């Protein structure tokens, strides 16, 4: 795959390791959608990108911030090399073939923390609804909609605000965590830590358990030696890998022990493929 960054767009050619569905609909981001004409869009912070397939495997990504989205979509990483390493595992080959267009996003850390606290024991449509309501209430009005609010903007949010946005029991966790992120050097400090210590630090945030911590490590800190285990990965482990463990922390460890530094990539391919099979 080749990409070119211009003043107002990113041009992808021969993009065999990128598809909008594989990137955006793989459980790692919640402010995205697609139109009847086939155009996809995604919002991060106060940035928006619209993705159009010009011809098969050739895309234009129109945005006011091309450099941000070139990094966001991880275009600097060679996914052919990742796939070639994972293809050595026969059990992965169907998922890799189907999900070849999956990429791991490089998202703003604070945004990921807030989104994945909301995601705990939740489903994607409800998460999307809550995040959109929060953006409309606290985010900056943009020509295309509402930006995801900054931590400073969210410092005014109350428990009732988050409850009214559909966050339920997570509302006090959000207020507590946002206050901590605003009043300490937590974000800068956690970025300097290795995976083990970063996880321990994330677990001190209200509303962050092991699975949410692993999602933050993967999607916000770009730590690839993690394997978030949700309902879909639990199914993968028991149905496809014939595992017998029931403790999800131990299931995560099994996968990380198996796939090492490619674990995060592997998780996304398996997650995306398992959801496809369930819909099929």
Domains detected in the chain: 2-76 (3.30.310.260), 109-219 (1.10.340.30)
For the chain, the first-to-last Cα distance in angstroms comes to 29
Residue 190 has a pLDDT of 98
Residue 280 has a pLDDT of 75
Summary mean pLDDT of the chain: 97
Beta bridge partners of 10: 5, 61
Residue 170 has a pLDDT of 98
b/e per residue 159-170 (b: at least 16 CB within 10 A) = eebbeebbbeeb
- Confidence check: pLDDT of 279 > 90: no
pLDDT, tens only, 178-206: 999 999 999 999 999 999 999 999 999 99
Q: 50 near 41, Cβ under 8 Å? A: yes
b/e per residue 191-214 (b: at least 16 CB within 10 A) = eebebeebbeebeebebbeebbbb
Per-residue pLDDT, averaged over 76-86, amounts to 97
Percent of residues, the chain, with pLDDT higher than 70: 100
pLDDT, tens only, 126-138: 999 999 999 999 9
Beta bridge partners of 127: none
């Amino acid at each position: 795959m080749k990409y070119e960054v211009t003043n107002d767009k990113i041009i992808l050619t021969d993009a065999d390791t990128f598809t909008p569905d594989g990137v955006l609909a793989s459980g790692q981001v919640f402010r995205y959608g697609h139109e009847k004409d086939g155009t996809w869009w995604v919002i991060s912070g106060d940035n928006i990108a619209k993705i159009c397939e010009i011809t098969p495997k050739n895309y234009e990504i129109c945005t006011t911030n091309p450099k941000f989205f070139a990094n966001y979509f991880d275009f600097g990483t060679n996914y052919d090399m990742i796939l070639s390493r994972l293809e050595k595992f026969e059990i992965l080959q169907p998922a890799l073939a189907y999900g070849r267009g999956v990429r791991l996003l490089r998202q703003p850390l604070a945004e990921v923390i807030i989104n994945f606290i909301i995601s705990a024991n939740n489903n994607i449509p409800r998460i999307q609804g809550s995040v959109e309501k929060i953006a409309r209430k606290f985010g900056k009005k943009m020509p295309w909609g509402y930006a995801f609010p900054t931590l400073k903007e969210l410092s005014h949010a109350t428990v009732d605000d988050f409850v009214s946005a559909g966050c339920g029991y997570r509302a006090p966790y959000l207020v507590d965590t946002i206050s901590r992120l605003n009043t300490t050097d937590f974000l800068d400090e956690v970025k300097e830590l290795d995976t083990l210590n970063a996880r321990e630090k994330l677990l001190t945030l209200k509303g962050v358990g092991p699975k949410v911590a692993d999602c933050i490590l993967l999607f916000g800190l770009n730590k690839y030696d993690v394997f978030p285990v949700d309902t879909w990965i639990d199914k993968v482990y028991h149905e496809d890998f014939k595992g017998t463990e029931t403790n999800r922390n131990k299931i995560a460890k099994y996968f990380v022990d198996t796939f090492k530094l490619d674990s995060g990539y592997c998780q996304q391919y398996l997650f995306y493929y398992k959801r496809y099979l369930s819909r099929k």
